[in-house]
Amino acid sequence: MNIYFHTVKNNLELKKLNLDLIEKKVDKNFLDIIKNKKIVTFYFRQKGEKSNIESYYRSGSAPNEYYETFEYLKNKNYIICVTGDNLFDKNYLKINKKYIYDFISAKTNFHIFNIYVSNICNYFISEPGGAQYFGLHITNHIMINQFPFGHYLPKTHILYKNIIEKNTNKYLDHGLLKKLYKYNYNLNKNHKLLNNTSKEILNHLKRVI
């Protein structure tokens, strides 16, 4: 899968992946469930330690920050597929098993599931990691929790993280942040990086979905 990420990243004219061979390895019951359904696929990133800021600062929000967005999509009759790093506990996924699927509930190999649902979805919502490049194949690609500023992919709706002043809790203007932190991970000592909140994520999606 890493080879595929590299290929997509470096060739914006790459044709859409032929999914015939991959689909044969997807559980048939799952294929029946999603047939003719609207699908939103999420790619979540939860990696890195504070000692490695280039990785740590690209991790996403806490699980509860996505619940409101999931309810919104559920009410619009979307099937939600979650890929990437494990973020949600088994009980939450079990309670919402009729409309949220991961590779376990889809009874499909982790890599096969990630590639397949990231290419057949109506909307692809990604955090800043390798799998975000699947979005190059999707007409409706939404990026959330993006950092550093300046990073983007073509034809993408981007929501950057926020930064506040520690001593005042004042939110800094994104125009200023795009100058201070364009491809720059090194935060000022008085600045604190904030992941996107539930309201920010939901409002961002509502502009598109």
Q: Which domains does the chain have, with CATH numbers?
A: 2-145+154-159 (3.40.50)
For residue 105, what pLDDT band results from cuts at 50, 70 and 90? very high
Nearest to 125 by CA among 180, 72, 178: 72
For residue 123, what pLDDT band results from cuts at 50, 70 and 90? very high
Q: What is the mean pLDDT of residues 52-72?
A: 91
For residue 197, what pLDDT band results from cuts at 50, 70 and 90? very high
**What pLDDT score does 71 carry?**
97
The answer to whether residue 1 scores a pLDDT higher than 60 is no
- H helices of the chain, in order, are 2-9, 20-23, 28-34, 53-56, 67-75, 90-95, 110-120, 174-180, 198-206
Residue bearing the bigger pLDDT, 100 or 87: 100
Angle in degrees, 0-180, between the axes of helices 67-75 and 198-206, rounded to the nearest 10? 30
What is the model's pTM? 0.88
**What pLDDT score does 16 carry?**
60
**What pLDDT score does 160 carry?**
96
Torsion angle (degrees, nearest 10) of CA 117, 118, 120, 123: 110
For residue 15, what pLDDT band results from cuts at 50, 70 and 90? low
The answer to whether residue 14 scores a pLDDT higher than 70 is no
Instruction: Report d(CA 11, CA 94) in Å as an integer.
Output: 39
Q: Give one word for 97, left, alpha or beta, with left for phi > 0 and alpha for psi -120 to 50.
A: alpha
Per cent of the chain over pLDDT 70 is: 92
**What pLDDT score does 129 carry?**
80
Instruction: Report d(CA 108, CA 116) in Å as an integer.
Output: 10
DSSP-based three-state secondary structure for 20:
helix
**pLDDT tens digits along 146-157:** 999 987 787 889
Length of the chain: 209
Two structure tokens written together for 136: 């190059």
Q: Write the DSSP symbol of residue 188.
A: -
